[in-house]
Amino acid sequence: METAILVNLAYIASSILFIVGLKMLGSPDTATRGNFLSSSGMLLAVLITLLDQNIIDYRYIAGALVAGSIVGFFAATRVKMTSMPEMVAIFNGFGGIASLLVGSAEYVSGVFDNPAFLGAIFLTVLIGGLTFTGSIIAYGKLSETISGKPYLYKGQQFVNGLLLFAILLVGINMLFIQGLISSEQTLLLLIGLAFILGVLFVIPIGGADMPVVIALLNSFSGLAACAAGFVILNNVLIVAGALVGASGLILTNIMCKAMNRSLANVLFSGFGAAPDSSTESSQEQGEVKPINAEDAYLILEAASSVLIVPGYGMAVAQAQHTVRELGELLEENGTEVKYAIHPVAGRMPGHMNVLLAEANVSYDVLVEPEDVNPIMETVDVCMVIGANDVVNPDAKDNEGSPIYGMPIIEVDNSKTVFVLKRSMASGFAGIQNPLFFKSNTRMLFGDAKDMVSTLVSEFKG
């Protein structure tokens, strides 16, 4: 009894550390300490759990803990910052499968006749399973081991409906009937269906919509832990799981708002799969005005304010360090340099911020679209580096455009726009961008990194 009280007090302390830790993640000044507090909460919860008197054998626990920690350590210290979205995706998956296994272990070991427990196990296994396979598909799409294109097929809705119906039947059998098939068969069937659901859920979503998917899977991994908390009647799992669930849902919502689309539209529309009719009818496009690095240098040299707009292309070209170098040279030249970051630029929320932080860009020069759009007319040069859809003026001007209504960074209102781009190929969503044809736009064709380093050497030379 004494230990039970001690354990529960420790769990309360852990919960407090998680909450304060998350609160401190709200500001870059305190975030590192916040993360430390949160990890101390985790350490405390794990250590106190090891005191549990029901634990008979510590060998397996110790072995698995050490093995998992080593894998986690190497993954965390080796991963490149550009690969962070894949990393978070696969970690979400591991959290999901762990919850699934906990739920399964409880199911096979215990005799439950209480539908509330069985319902909690059902949810743990279902959410954990779909988080696992969904995250693996997301990982594949982000690392481009599988195509980032949305995968759509005929009768998709019907298959999904059938799958959900089957899951419902298994759930009813598990909770209330229990006699139709054996409990082992029920569990295996449920795991199988949850795995299939995860695959079918992420497969139709395009690579550019991955920020939403990762945020959602993040939320699911928390909810799975939360459901596992109801299985083993443990309040720290419920508190921590609910915090993560809420955090993932908020990020999902922010991402959807930044694209002016509903969650349902992101999940089910297969955005960017088929070429939209409005893009095929080529409108008055005007002329593209290419410019070489020398002329670009002269314009930059004379500019008093420069706004850099990075996108996924910058990450692909690994150009963030060179971009920072250019930014510093511009500042030395007396130019005010800021970086405008769209919430959905990159492949996960805040992706660009991390890359620029890695390249030593001070975080106070990173600005959001709503800060910079009102003063856009005063900006001399906007440099769009590997971004496309987030600066597409069709989002405000063309009601027929698939991205109409999406908040953008209105670079076309600035005095001059430089677009660094490989070729005239359209962006991820397959939408033509009229920005390239505007009279104040100059195109710098080529690899983003090469182009920026040429500009850097122009400044130095």
Partner 1 sequence: MESQIILLIFILVLSIFLGVELITKVPSTLHTPLMSGANAISGITLVGAILSSGSSEFITIALGTAAVFFASINVVGGYLVTNRMLSMFKKK
Is 91 one of the binding residues for partner 1 (CB under 8 A)? yes
- What single letter denotes the amino acid at residue 243? L
DSSP state, 449? Answer: H
Selected from 21, 207, 311, 313, the binder of partner 1 by CB under 8 A is 21
List the one residue out of 339, 333, 331, 330 whose CA is nearest residue 307.
339
> Which range of residues in 95-103, 159-167, 193-201, 379-387 is near partner 1 by CB under 8 A?
95-103
DSSP state, 290? Answer: B
449 close to 317: Cβ distance less than 8 angstroms: yes
Name the CA dihedral angle for 258, 262, 265, 271, rounded to a multiple of 10 degrees.
Answer: -10
- 83 or 278, CB closer to partner 1? 83
- Assign 274 to helix, strand or coil: coil
Selected from 130, 244, 306, 409, the binder of partner 1 by CB under 8 A is 244
435 close to 417: Cβ distance less than 8 angstroms: yes
Is 300 one of the binding residues for partner 1 (CB under 8 A)? no
Size of the site for partner 1 (CB under 8 A): 111
> Which range of residues in 161-169, 239-247, 299-307, 389-397 is near partner 1 by CB under 8 A?
239-247
DSSP state, 349? Answer: T
- The residues carrying an active-site annotation are 389
- 355 or 381, CB closer to partner 1? 355
Interface characters, 251-270, with partner 1 (x: CB under 8 A): x--x----------------
HSE toward the beta carbon, residue 247, CA cutoff 13 A: 17
List the one residue out of 187, 423, 151, 398 whose CA is nearest residue 313.
423
Q: Hey, which residues between 309 and 348 contact partner 1 (CB under 8 A)?
A: 341, 343, 348
Is 19 one of the binding residues for partner 1 (CB under 8 A)? yes
Q: Hey, which residues between 351 and 390 contact partner 1 (CB under 8 A)?
A: 351, 353-354, 357-358, 360, 362-364, 366, 368
Is 31 one of the binding residues for partner 1 (CB under 8 A)? yes
- Gap between the Cα atoms of 425 and 428, Å rounded: 9
- 296 or 348, CB closer to partner 1? 348
- 344 or 382, CB closer to partner 1? 344
Q: How far is the CB of 428 from partner 1 (least distance, A)?
A: 19
Strand 366-367 to strand 381-385: parallel, antiparallel, or no bridges (unpaired)? unpaired
Selected from 129, 140, 148, 245, the binder of partner 1 by CB under 8 A is 245
Selected from 99, 269, 414, 441, the binder of partner 1 by CB under 8 A is 99
> Which range of residues in 100-108, 145-153, 262-270, 404-412 is near partner 1 by CB under 8 A?
100-108
Is 350 one of the binding residues for partner 1 (CB under 8 A)? yes
Question: Hey, which residues does 417 pair with through a beta bridge?
Answer: 382, 441
385 close to 421: Cβ distance less than 8 angstroms: no
- What single letter denotes the amino acid at residue 412? D
